[in-house]
Amino acid sequence: MRRLVLLFTCVFSMNFIFAANECACTPQQISKVFTKVAKQATPAVVYIKADGVGDDDANESLSEPGPNDPFGDEFFNRFFGMPYRKAPQQVISQGSGFFVSKKGYILTNAHVVKGAKKLTVVLNDGREMTAETVGLDTSTDVAVIKVEGNNFDFIPLGDSEKMEIGEWVIAIGSPFQLQASVTVGVISAKGRQNLRITDFEDFLQTDAAINPGNSGGPLLNLEGKVIGINTAIVSKSGGYAGIGFAIPSDMVRHIMNQIIDNGTVTRGFLGVALQPLDQDMADAFGLERPEGALVAEVVKGSPADKAGLKQGDIILQYDNTPVKTIGSFRNEISMIKPGSTIKLKVNRNGKILNIPVTLGTHSDEIGGSGFIQKLGMEVELLTPEMAKKLGYSQGEEGVVITKIKPGSPAAMAGMRPGFLILAINHKKVTNLEEFNKALEETKKNRILILAKQGNITRFYSLKVQ
């Protein structure tokens, strides 16, 4: 393993902000800043052991597929949230976490604690305590657990939005069970989306060394505040390769507060399938430049449908906020309280419209990412961007399986994330509305699905209770 060596020269100086004081620092002073943050934060960082039946995906990595496997098991594991296994197995998941309150609340990743029958938290002083899950949100991979007590060291959440590319950050966790390991790096990028690690993504990218076991640990700024939860890495070997991702603290705070207050997370729901606009698409719609998000489909009966949005509309703004990317727009809508009314600025055939929409509650039973309980799968409309990633031809139509529940009818039939569903019970499926309608019309306890993976198309028979 290569060691990261930081080289400083006498002609190289940097400005750091620490405790609101700006100064030109020598390497020795920089080292003291790192040391101070580590000393302050380490007592609040914990090692988590999750014992139970579940998916052993705490040691997360986005491994690159080999030449004979265009996707690879790890592609499906982290990009679609499920390892390709035939059955659940007894596992001990290991990860990290940190106290966010002296009352015993601990933040970590959902994939570290999901499915655990027993949670053991090892404090920095060696004490072991049993923890209970307060709540978890797999859509963002955030979880809150709690231990008994009311006088714990904790780390405050900072403002991830204010972090700039190139700023120093410090990661603390328990890689390979090496508790309280400290690594240093910088913010490499912000707003990373479309990684398909979680449903809602706005990741900070860092080159601070993150390895298996770091999941759930804090990413800190030089003020000693948490600006992210370390979650995933890109790696050929499963170990550090210089690219790590952290959930930004601004998103974490929103999810954490809901979990602590309500035990669950609710999200605003619009009910549209969107696709990005490139210059060619903008030209086709008569636009000067590609801006906004193109409505590829409006879910029947959704808030968008009731408000009058139509296929082909281009959403430019919501409440005077420009739509920069589909991912950021989806994230922002999800964080608006259900029942709230927002105003959408829409381009419809060259005419600008202002359309008020009252948001519903995001439900797994409806919408562009509808979890079909009786099948045990989650699907999304195939967009051109998704088709390119999965190797399907431009112009192909259907819905893509994005998640499979272990032990479900879909899993037992041999279906996998990434499959393109073409028909249900001999009825062609080109969009979500047709998919849902075909399922609703199913009267037998067996469903016949025609699906495609790569260049191979075959039928799958699913037995439904």
Residue 160 counted as domain residue: yes
Question: Which three-class secondary structure state does DSSP give residue 244?
Answer: strand
Residue 249 counted as domain residue: yes
The Cα–Cα gap between 239 and 132 comes to 30
Of 215, 235, 249, 369, catalytic: 215
Q: Is 52 exposed, middle or buried (0-12, 13-18, 19+ CB in 10 A)?
A: middle
Q: Tokens at residue 18, please?
A: 């620490």
The DSSP bridge pattern shows strands 268-269 and 244-248 to be unpaired
For residue 108, the model assigns a pLDDT of 97
For residue 90, the model assigns a pLDDT of 56
Residue 435 counted as domain residue: yes
Answer yes or no: do 258 and 306 share one domain: no
For residue 59, the model assigns a pLDDT of 40
Note if 111 is an active site residue. Answer: yes
The domain boundary, picked from 265, 285, 313, lies at 265
The CATH number that applies at residue 336 is: 2.30.42.10
The CATH number that applies at residue 98 is: 2.40.10.120
For residue 63, the model assigns a pLDDT of 40
Residue 33 counted as domain residue: no
Answer yes or no: do 109 and 195 share one domain: yes
Answer yes or no: do 251 and 317 share one domain: no
Note if 51 is an active site residue. Answer: no
The domain boundary, picked from 361, 382, 405, lies at 361
For residue 3, the model assigns a pLDDT of 34
Answer yes or no: do 127 and 182 share one domain: yes
Residue 85 counted as domain residue: yes
- Domain containing residue 434: 371-463
Q: Which of 156, 174, 177, 176 is nearest to 220 (CA)?
A: 156
Taking phi over 0 as left and psi of -120 to 50 as alpha, with beta for the rest, 463 belongs to beta
Residue 11 counted as domain residue: no
Is this structure's pTM higher than 0.85? Answer: no
Residue 4 counted as domain residue: no
Mean pLDDT by 10 residues, the chain (465 residues): 33 37 68 93 96 51 37 36 42 88 96 92 95 93 95 96 96 88 96 85 94 93 97 78 93 96 91 85 84 87 93 94 91 94 95 96 48 74 83 87 84 90 91 84 82 88 81
Angle at 359 between CA 355 and CA 362, to 5 degrees: 140
Angle at 208 between CA 202 and CA 210, to 5 degrees: 80
Answer yes or no: do 272 and 170 share one domain: no
Note if 215 is an active site residue. Answer: yes
Instruction: Check if the beta carbon of residue 143 is closer than 8 Å to that of residue 107.
Output: yes
Residue 15 counted as domain residue: no
Of 96, 111, 188, 199, catalytic: 111
Helices and strands: H and E segment counts in the chain: 10, 29
For residue 4, the model assigns a pLDDT of 32
Of 141, 202, 207, 250, catalytic: 141
Residues in contact with 437: Cβ distance below 8 Å, sequence separation at least 6, in sequence order: none
For residue 363, the model assigns a pLDDT of 57
What total number of domains does the chain contain?
3
